[in-house]
Structure 1
Amino acid sequence: MSLTGTTIADEALTRGRIGLALVDARLFVRQRLGPLSDWLPPVGAPVCGAPLLINMEEAFAALRREGGEIVLPSMRAALEGRRVTISIGWSAGEGAYLVVTTPDHGSEQIDRLLASDRREKQLLQQQADAAAARLKIADALYRDIVESSGNLVLRFRPDLRLVFANRATASFLGRPQDALIGEALDDLFPSQGAPWRLRRAAEGQSFKMSARDARGRARWLSWDIRFLGAAAGGEFQAVARDVTAERRLRIEREKAQEEARAAAIAHERLRIAHDLHDTLVRSIVTMIAEARLIAKKTSDPEAKKALAEVDAHARQGLWEAREAIAQMRETRREDADLRAIVLAFQARWPEVAVTLDFAAERPLAPQTETLFAAILREALRNIELHSGAKNVRVALHVNDARAELVVEDDGAGFDPAAPTPGHFGVLGMRERASLSGATLEVESAPGEGARLKLSVSLTG
């Protein structure tokens, strides 16, 4: 049997489109044609020495007995990794096995597609790994920045549950960082019903609120909240800056300016009063004396009558001038308006619920009203500075016997028997009340708010 003889067959063998081989009955290679048959052993060698045919002696014997063919589909031969299909049949007339090798183009295409898919997956995985590494670096940098920050930094979901809190926040609240995760923001920083203004936060707006630290001290925090976007799971980030010292300085500056303004006004009023006394009053007194002297010397009845009228008008003018001077020496009425003082406090601190309870059966004397105004102003200033209260009540009760002023708050409270160094508000109020013959009572304890009661007897 010859495996050559036509030009077409020779061309197919040469171009590797087919490989042909003959194997004798003893399973030795008799002839091998075409590059596709190079996977077989050389001529004269046992065919089962080929890696693809090892231990197939019994299969060859069965093929010879029973006929048919052996097909090895899509095998990767030692042909530069090419996939081939191998078909083996027995020719009884030639007494030899015919081994036909053809390229498996379908499997090669699948291999190429699989290889391309693997490369694409590998590239995507590399990109994902690089992105994860960058994210890890960014997250580490973010955590390093926020952990070293002195400001309170926390992140929370739209349901106001914390997912992160930095060390400053944990220190402020006196709790471990891990214990804060999952806690409700409004439980940690009560906002008196305000829903943390998430709509305003999404617009990048800020607000201030009071809070108590781990030691129960009232602190003022300025919050800056930002919406991190859908890519961050719809989370919000809140940064709080402690502005207690700034607020205290502002209040103390306003107090100093208020006192300086009041002193300047009082000084100017006193100067005007002195000027009136030295000019207007002295002139009227001189005019009265001269009119009376003339009246004694004249004998004209009409003149005496006219001079008597001048005397009467002059004495009335003198009384009015002295009354005006006395009023100039007194405190301005508007500075002692208790209701106006409370309303001004409420305007400065709209987060606080203020209750007014005024019941006055008679007006207060100017001196008492001035005392009450000074004590009320100082009490409200102390609440604003130190208490962090959410509710304040101011009550004024006046009857024929007594006048009482009560100021209550639900703030941090304090120990009245242990004055805080550098703070003289309560001590100053006690001294002022004592000098005016009034009684000042202060009830408070740490964490239990404070109650101040100023009493003045009106019965002499």
Structure 2
Amino acid sequence: MIDLDAELLPAAEANVIGLAVVGADRTTRRKIGGLVEWLPAIGVDCCQCMLLAGMESELAALAEGQREVIALSSVRGASLGLDHPVTAVVLWNREQSHYLVIAMPDFAARQVEVLLGSERRARRLMEQQLEAASSEVRFASLARTRLRLARDLHDTLVHSIMALLTQIRLMRHFLSTDPARVSDGLATAEEAAISGLARARDAIARLRMPDEPELSPDVEGMLSDFATRTGAEVSVDISDEARSGLHTYGMTIQRILGEALRNVEAHAKARRVRFRAVEEQASSGRRMIVEIRDDGCGFDRAIPKPGHFGLIGMAEFAELAGGDCAVESARGKGTLVRISLPVTAPPGTLSSGTLTY
């Protein structure tokens, strides 16, 4: 049996361990060291402390030899408020007919607490990173909103004001050279104002649309409406595997397609327009390729066009979606708008069909 004085008492007095003697009647007889201060005061039943509450039967079984030891690991003395967890061991000294309580610092539990503290710090860092990412998302959303405003202002107010400015200058010229033509100029200016007002209202309606892609982007419907309105021959070639991409990038493709069709209608005077959407393998991975090609008059990209931001807006919309938009054109050779976007879903089975409106 353990010799209390020879083996444990020096360690208890040095506060390396905590040591306590509890009588057979479960009353505390002696306590040495701060690690056993959670036990009740001397003369009080030890089962009145929180740690040993309700353990009368276990202590009795220990005294009767039905069990060898009671071990309580990773516990704290609630009444004392220990800074670190302890492991408490209860033994029965048959020769002295008393219980021996030994309390030792629980280094494993302390290490777990250190790890938990590190985990909490890591979680706080992750929360801060998520908050920063959320700020980036809000900034991207704001950028998209500003881009939509700039694009729609370019499409409506700028065009309308330029048309009105042209008519005003003509009327000022006619006032001194040919007053009879002022009336015709006023009529033309009125038509420009009416058209600009209608386009402004349409832009306001588009600004009320959400930034996120529509559930069912109707690209083919846009092309069909364009064919009906202009009389141009429009062909549509969409592979089956590209249809999921049209859904994923619905709003981006509709924005760019809408700008391209407006340019065809206003400037190119094309007889045929072809829309093509496929998936292709590239060095950077699979890409969704969308092409809008017309046989119109084309234009010289080397000639700057101050105040015109349609092509810039198309490129910016593609860039916001992680892709790019290139425009190829030359006088008399039509125009090709080519959109390249990363594929975010596994490719399906390739199968294409062509429709003509």
Normalised to the residue count of structure 2, the TM-score between the two structures is: 0.48
Bigger Rg, structure 1 or 2: 1
Normalised to the residue count of structure 1, the TM-score between the two structures is: 0.38
| Higher RCO (Cα < 8 Å, 6 or more apart) | 2
